[in-house]
Amino acid sequence: MSMDKSEVLSLIIDQLSADLSALDQAVRIARDTATHADCLGSSKYETMGLEASCLAQGQGTRLLEVERALAYFKRLSLAESEHGAGIGLSSLVELTDDAGVRQWLWLAAEAGGLKVHDGQVAVTVITAKSPLGRALIGKGAGDDVETTFAGKVRCYHILGCY
């Protein structure tokens, strides 16, 4: 089975754009809450303002991560990623595990864990820093890879690389 990489890339960009919009709104709300006069405590036991500022900081950090990921995918050139040297960054990989479960993965430098759906097929973005991402680098269709997750060895067979 083949999949249109440009369509998957478009889905990833759309999802990251939607995430960015939602995070931007969440950061604004958390910042406004943290600085609102009602949240300023009158004693050391009233910590709502402190809690809201910690939340705003965490959401701000996440916002920066999504902005960086979106910029990465927007500047990605699929023509550059077409190579015969095996799986690398921006490869779309179809594989199956020991139980015969098929999955599609997009190997990227950013946005690990993001999942998009192209019709009925889910594509999960993984990074080259993940155990499976490291195992896939340089491999090709027909190769087998092994990874260890939480002390359990898992084997995968690469069905295709696009």
Q: Which CATH class is domain 82-161?
A: alpha beta
pLDDT tens for the chain, 162 residues: list them: 678 999 999 999 999 999 999 999 988 888 777 777 666 666 666 666 677 778 888 888 999 999 999 999 999 987 644 545 689 999 999 999 999 999 999 999 999 999 999 999 999 999 999 999 999 999 999 999 999 988 999 999 999 998
DSSP label of 38:
G
Domain spans of the chain?
5-78, 82-161
CA distance 111 to 8: 14
pTM: 0.83
CB 114 within 8 A of CB 15: yes
CB 90 within 8 A of CB 107: yes
CA distance 138 to 157: 14
Query: Among candidates 152, 37, 36, 143, which has minimal Cα distance to 96?
Result: 143
Q: What phi and psi, each to the nearest 5 degrees, are found at residue 128?
A: -70, -15
Residue linked to tokens 């077409």: 82
